[in-house]
A and B are shown apart, each in its own frame.
Chain A
Amino acid sequence: MIDFLAAAIRIATPLLLAALGGILSERAGVFAVGLEGMMLMGAFAAAVGTWATDSSLLGVALALVGGAGIGLVVAVVTVRFRADNMVTGLTSNILAAGLTSYLLRIMAGGGRPIAIHLTPLAAWPIPGLVDLPGVGPLLFVLPPLTYLAILGCVALDFFLRRTQWGLTLRAVGENPEAAFAAGIEPMRVRIVAIVVGGAIAGLGGAVLSLQQVGTFTDGMTGGRGYLALASLIVARWNPFGAAAACLAFGAAEAFELRLQGFGVPVSSYIVQMAPYLIALAVLAGLGRSSRMPASVGQPLSWER
């Protein structure tokens, strides 16, 4: 049971980071469909960066840069040029997939993908809590990026509710014209939100390549970015809610892996559908949420 929970946390971590990044973007009024590409670029940058420099710290830093880079592309096209959020996000995902595959192959010079084999990041025990009987060694020994995700969750919530920047961001997401009249530059706010959100999502990708698998393979995010988007909507754009939702999806997937282990005669494919079906079911149950930031998806447009 405990290691089921541990597995759920492990699976949920990259989702949560991506969701946190997505919340920044969505609360500022831009649909975060590009999370998949930001995660993928982050995973790539982290793996390649660590492989090239032998420093996982630099790898993590490069993941931030990579995610932010994709974020910048999305931000410019959809905020500055006012293209549709959804389509821009999808397109940038395609770009990220192509770019990471391409770069992976040219770095070795021979056209074959470079072989990266990294030791996954070690877990850090929390002194004190780790000594709890039974629970301790399994739950309170987590790899560093997971701690970062939890801290990020708390920090984002504080940021949104209790800082001037958070207030500014939320206002741009609700009523950009009012924000403009209050002396704010909505375009700048949205762009920064998307770029920073992209960096955080890139961190989620780093979790995959540095913390879990130890390498980068084409398209390794496998749709997690979209699942993160579903989770943040299910969570009503709230960081703690997103943590709960990601944990739920993580639990669903952990459950599926357990089932396979026990040889239960349910097709693995059907069970793999669980996270997506759960996401759909929850979304269907919620309907169109009234808590959605009011101006999300609407381009900035009024007479200047």
Chain B
Amino acid sequence: MTVLLQMRGIVRCFGAVRANDGVDLDVSGGEILGLLGENGSGKSTLMKVLFGMIPADAGDIVFRGRRLGGHRPADAMAAGVAMIHQHFMLVEAMTVLENVMLGWAAAGRLLKRSEMAARIGEASRRFGLDLDPDAVVADLPLGRRQRIEILKAVLREAELLILDEPTSNLAPSEVADLLTILRRLREQGKGVVFITHKLPEVLDVCDRVVVLRAGRVSGRAPVGAVTKAQLAEMMVGRDTTAPHAARQAPSKVDRLIVTDLEGPGLGPLSFAVKGGEVLGVAGVDGNGQLELVETLAGLRRPRGGALSVDGLDLAEAGVAARTEAGLAYMPADRSSTALVKGLSIAENLMLRDSRRAPYKRGLFLSRAARDAKARALMREYDIRAPHPTTPAGRLSGGNQQKIVVARELDRKPAALIAHQAAWGLDPGATRFVVERVLALRAAGAAIVYFSSELDEVLDVADRIAVMANGRFAGIVTRRDVDLGQIGLWMSGRAA
């Protein structure tokens, strides 16, 4: 096996954060290397550096004997490196054929459509990709779209393929298909870097594994020589989560009731959550979670169905009315929905409550009241920033989420919808969010907690629902959870 890639001493910083802190990496042809790590460990950054999407601050990259540096994606591709992105870089309005021809000199100045279509057919057969050149990307399911990326890599005779979290949007059957394709690539002598945080997949398909933690390599091993537990420890370090306090039982009263809710990509769906209970909703992202969450919050109108909080019918109510009625909502999109980055912390804390006390006095807003409230909330929720007038965009992800948490929880809501509340946060910030959610639970609120991380859901929930194809495929109590059954429910999605 020839060594394809040697990365030495890669350093990349974002502000004060050292996303890559002196990383070495080797990949050979005909092997699948697993690059393992939690969110924020630096694996995506490392690959973006390799692919030329961002420059490294220091370090060397040698690919097939030639140095790669200060390069852009076009150069990386010309050298034989291909990247299959987690969020597909495809033009939805165009066909498979057009997406393949894009940026590819071999397609000619005057596009050679029929010739390219023939080559797509041939490669598609060789690697089992099953793609129709004239299909419009927008019409294809996510699993198929990913294959277009692989097809592009293969047609351009890439020697090294980087797959960034390729299974995060796939159902289990699609995952199995993908792993088969990767094995075919390996047989053909290609090198594959498989970036993931999912241990089972690494053990299934990879030959070697490199583990990153906090920007550094925390372990390397051939897959046969290491156990899941050892990998987990390399990934996470020592167990930092203290066990949560023993929980009291939920009340008997349903506080949040949803009946026959339905809309585009959603439902019909019915469930009820008691006061003091957390209903965790697990499932692969893209199965209707966003539709459900926004419909509950009032941002989308359903085709039909009813929703009530503490007996108050909210089906016709707008967002403001629902907030007033005690329904709190933490959106997944922190950067442009839950927060307004250009506004100050104080203004973000007041975002959804600007029309009531203490912010509004008479006809006008009271700056003094706003700032005083902000200071109080910053103390109580440990939001680290110099001043309430600091722009929210300057804070770290964890502190930004604290603003969202502070705002929604300070209202002492009757019900909370939390969507990916700990997404992208380091373990400390995650623990903060989870603790506050559980404190709200103890105060008697009904909580629906959506997350694509099954571990997180298992940690927090009293009952667990699995969302697939816009509906709940099943609901169980935490005690009765069977991971196999959950996996089956998750894959209830058509390929």
- Which of B53, B103, B111 counts the most A-chain CB atoms under 10 A from its CB? B103
Q: Which residues of A contact B105 (CB under 8 A)?
A: 164
Main secondary structure of the interface of B (DSSP, over half): loop
- Which of B54, B74, B108 counts the most A-chain CB atoms under 10 A from its CB? B74
Min CB distance, B61 to chain A, in Å? 17
* Cβ-based interface call for B107 (8 A): yes
B102 touches A180 (CB 8 A): no
Q: How large is the interface on B (under 10, 10 to 19, 20 to 34, 35 or more residues)?
A: 20 to 34
Q: Which residues of A contact B109 (CB under 8 A)?
A: 163-165
With both beta carbons as reference points, the residue of chain A lying nearest to B51 in the complex is identified as A181
User: B54, B83, B93, B101: which contacts A294 (Cβ < 8 A)?
Assistant: B93
B102 touches A179 (CB 8 A): yes
* Cβ-based interface call for B77 (8 A): yes
Q: Which residues of B contact A180 (CB under 8 A)?
A: 53, 73, 89
Min CB distance, B452 to chain A, in Å? 22
A304 touches B91 (CB 8 A): no
A174 touches B53 (CB 8 A): no
With both beta carbons as reference points, the residue of chain B lying nearest to A303 in the complex is identified as B54
Q: Which B278-326 residues have a C-beta within 8 angstroms of A? A: none
Complex-state Cα separation, A180 to B53, whole angstroms: 9
Min CB distance, B109 to chain A, in Å? 5
Complex-state Cα separation, A295 to B52, whole angstroms: 23
User: B89, B98, B103: which contacts A177 (Cβ < 8 A)?
Assistant: B89
Complex-state Cα separation, A167 to B113, whole angstroms: 12
Q: Which B73-95 residues have a C-beta within 8 angstroms of A? A: 73-74, 77, 83, 85, 88-94
* Cβ-based interface call for B8 (8 A): no
Q: Which residues of B contact A182 (CB under 8 A)?
A: 73, 89, 102-104
Complex-state Cα separation, A304 to B103, whole angstroms: 19
Known contacts A163-B111, A167-B98; is A183 also within 8 Å of B103 by CB? yes
* Cβ-based interface call for A224 (8 A): no
With both beta carbons as reference points, the residue of chain A lying nearest to B73 in the complex is identified as A183
A183 touches B93 (CB 8 A): no
* Cβ-based interface call for B1 (8 A): no
CB-defined interface of A148-182 with B at 8 Å, one 1/0 digit per residue? Answer: 00000000000000111101101100110111111
Q: Which residues of B contact A164 (CB under 8 A)?
A: 101, 105, 107-111
Known contacts A168-B103, A171-B102; is A178 also within 8 Å of B90 by CB? yes
Q: Which residues of A contact B85 (CB under 8 A)?
A: 181
User: B55, B92, B111: which contacts A175 (Cβ < 8 A)?
Assistant: B92
Known contacts A182-B102, A183-B103; is A174 also within 8 Å of B108 by CB? no
Q: Which residues of A contact B101 (CB under 8 A)?
A: 164, 167
- In the assembled complex, 17 residue pairs joining A and B whose CB atoms fall closer than 8 Å, in A order, are A162-B110, A162-B111, A163-B109, A164-B101, A165-B109, A174-B93, A175-B89, A175-B90, A178-B91, A180-B53, A180-B73, A181-B85, A182-B73, A183-B72, A184-B103, A294-B92, A294-B93
Known contacts A164-B108, A168-B103; 5 additional CB pairs below 8 A are A163-B109, A171-B102, A174-B92, A180-B73, A303-B54
